[in-house]
Amino acid sequence: MTDAFVSRTVEVTTGDRETVHDLTAACASFLGEVARGRSGLLNVFTPHATAGLAVIETGAGSDHDLLAALRSLLPADDRWQHRHGSTGHGRDHVLPALVPPHVTLPVIDGALRLGTWQSVTLVDTNRDNPHREVRLSFLGG
């Protein structure tokens, strides 16, 4: 099947502050175009050394709680050996070890199958790079 694997890049502007950006609608739209009732896997990947992907609840404060937890674990100060960029930028390079740059999710009958409150999110603590790419790849039969 020639369209068993389909991939597309989505551009995201995250701005100049820490953010949890909801990608769920973009994932659903992509699958609506390429999965067409098929089942398989959606891989979401961001090719950046300072961003990650998380499946979490959004809109009820969990996204803000995640950023607060990351600030506590990875303070934006001068303790980091990686020192270019804004103060504390070294922590942004540690982020993908805690919030990985990839997630693979089930697709059943053309639809993303998340839990009731789950969303697919891009987590970006890097204030120095406001433009991000996210690659969506569907593998299905």
- The confidence score (pLDDT) of residue 2 equals 60
- The confidence score (pLDDT) of residue 83 equals 86
Averages of pLDDT over each 10 residues, the chain, 141 residues = 87 96 98 97 98 96 97 95 91 97 98 97 96 98 90
Nearest C-alpha neighbor of 71 from the set 84, 85, 88, 58? 88
- The confidence score (pLDDT) of residue 51 equals 98
- The confidence score (pLDDT) of residue 76 equals 93
Please state the pTM of the whole predicted model: 0.95
3-state per-residue secondary structure call for the chain:
CCCCEEEEEEEEECCCCCEEEECHHHHHHHHHHHCCCCCEEEEEECCCCCEEEEEECCCCCHHHHHHHHHHHHCCCCCCCCCCCCCCCHHHHHHHHHHCCCEEEEEEECCEECCCCCCEEEEEECCCCCCEEEEEEEEEEC
Q: How far is CA 77 from CA 17, 83, 88, 113, 119, in A?
A: 15, 10, 4, 39, 30
Q: How far is CA 13 from CA 20, 121, 139, in A?
A: 11, 13, 26
